[in-house]
């Protein structure tokens, strides 16, 4: 029996486990790693009950609470679904911090998104794979630059591709190729790149039309799409099946790309005439619009962050990232205690 880990018990982890419970085509033990024993146990029970009701018997969910290094030492791979920064904080606990994130871009939360993924990647045994569900468009390049191999991410471009698949009426994504970043979950600002899409090898003239319904969907429901797409990815990794899809952060690249997954191997499947350098450059432009660019061993944050932390005006070396993260932790703690700034002329967009 395969043995993998899902780290987290929030909405994303729950969506993944609930989907995997009814789609797993091979026997797999899923160790769910959480902090709260009651919450972790209840989540595993529901997933096990879903698997039982479906009658497939492929997946079995086991709760674990404690230091994550222990179970990760004995798994074939792990999916990270937890971070210390909720994307919904601006809705549940608005503050000067959430106002800064809205102004500067979601990218300034990179340290909070990356902490657990870095720790998990370093705890996995040699040969194990890592999939990251926390802001993979920027976290995965940081992982790669930090010497932590990462297979790919989930969400973001995968959700946009699912929306485009529906719009085109396609049975799968083998004929669909997207270049898209986390920032493209919203319509781009004036002067910024829109999603790029190809259908059957031909460029789509109006790609915004393909993702309009996805952008209009209730943001808190998108994990229901990501959960199913992630379960399909995990099943392909476990079975060795070939899956042609679109994923964020493959092989530590920034942003999202069309890929072919073959077991625990991922390869780009870019459209004819589009090289990797061009695709990466597209995603790096989007990354700048999202508030952070990870380029090799350097991390460049949005200028708005330097208004609070002047040292962030310059690029941060990946080797110094832990120190920078500590400074950002302090800023977040302070700004969370202050009310959000009054806005002029309209409503702030959710992340």
Q: Which pLDDT tens digit goes with each residue over 2-22?
A: 999 999 999 999 999 999 999
What gap in Å lies between CA 238 and CA 243, rounded to an integer?
12
What gap in Å lies between CA 183 and CA 299, rounded to an integer?
17
How much of the chain, in percent, has pLDDT values that exceed 70? 97
End-to-end CA distance of the chain: 39
* Average pLDDT over all residues of the chain: 95
Measured CA distances, 62 to 3, 34, 71, 117 (Å): 10, 11, 11, 21
Residue 342 pLDDT grade (very low, low, confident, very high; cuts 50, 70, 90): low
Beta bridge partners of 195: none
**Span 149-191, pLDDT tens digits:** 999 999 999 999 999 999 999 999 999 999 999 999 999 999 9
**Span 44-84, pLDDT tens digits:** 999 999 999 998 668 999 999 999 999 999 999 999 999 99
The pLDDT of residue 127: 94
Mean pLDDT of 92-112: 96
The pLDDT of residue 202: 97
Q: Is residue 263's pLDDT more than 90?
A: yes
Q: Is residue 42's pLDDT more than 80?
A: yes
SS3 333: helix
DSSP string, 11-48: HHHHHHHHHHHHH--S-EEEEEEES-HHHHHHHHHHHH
List all residues 6 or more positions away from 98 whose beta carbon is below 8 Å from its beta carbon: 89, 90, 340
Least confident of 145-154, 238-247, 336-345: 336-345
pTM over 0.85: yes
The pLDDT of residue 55: 87
Alpha-helical runs (H) found in 55-182:
69-72, 89-92, 96-104, 110-123, 136-145, 157-168
DSSP tally for the chain: helices H, then strands E:
13, 15
């Amino acid at each position: 029996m395969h043995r993998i880990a899902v780290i987290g018990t929030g909405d994303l982890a729950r969506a993944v486990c609930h989907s995997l419970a009814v789609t797993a085509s091979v026997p797999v033990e899923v160790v769910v790693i959480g902090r709260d024993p009651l919450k972790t146990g209840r989540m595993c029970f529901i997933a096990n009950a879903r698997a039982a009701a479906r009658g497939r018997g492929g997946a079995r969910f086991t709760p674990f609470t404690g230091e994550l290094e222990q179970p990760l030492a004995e798994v074939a791979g792990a999916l990270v679904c937890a971070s210390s920064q909720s994307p919904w904080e601006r809705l549940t606990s608005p503050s000067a911090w959430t106002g800064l994130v809205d102004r500067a871009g979601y990218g300034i939360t990179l340290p909070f998104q990356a902490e657990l993924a870095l720790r998990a990647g370093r705890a996995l045994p040699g040969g194990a794979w890592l999939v990251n569900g926390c802001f993979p468009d920027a976290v995965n390049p940081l992982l790669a630059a930090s010497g932590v191999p990462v297979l790919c991410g989930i969400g973001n471009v995968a959700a946009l591709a699912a929306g485009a698949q529906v719009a085109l009426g396609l049975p799968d994504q083998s004929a669909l190729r997207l270049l898209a970043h986390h920032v493209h979950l919203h319509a781009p600002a004036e002067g910024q790149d829109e999603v790029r899409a190809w259908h059957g090898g031909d460029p789509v003239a109006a790609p915004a039309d393909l993702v309009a319904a996805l952008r209009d969907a209730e943001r808190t429901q998108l994990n229901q799409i990501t959960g199913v797409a992630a379960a399909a990815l995990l099943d392909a990794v476990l079975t060795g099946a070939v899956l042609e899809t679109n994923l964020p952060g493959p092989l530590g690249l920034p942003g999202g790309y069309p890929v072919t997954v073959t077991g625990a191997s991922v390869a780009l499947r870019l459209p004819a005439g589009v090289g990797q350098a061009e695709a990466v450059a597209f995603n790096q432009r989007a990354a700048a619009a999202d508030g952070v660019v990870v380029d090799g061993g350097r991390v460049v944050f949005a200028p708005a962050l330097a208004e609070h932390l002047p040292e962030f005006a310059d690029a941060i070396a990946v080797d110094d990232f832990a120190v920078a993260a500590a400074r950002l932790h302090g800023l977040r703690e302070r700004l969370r205690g202050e009310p959000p700034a009054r806005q002029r002329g309209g409503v702030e967009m959710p992340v």
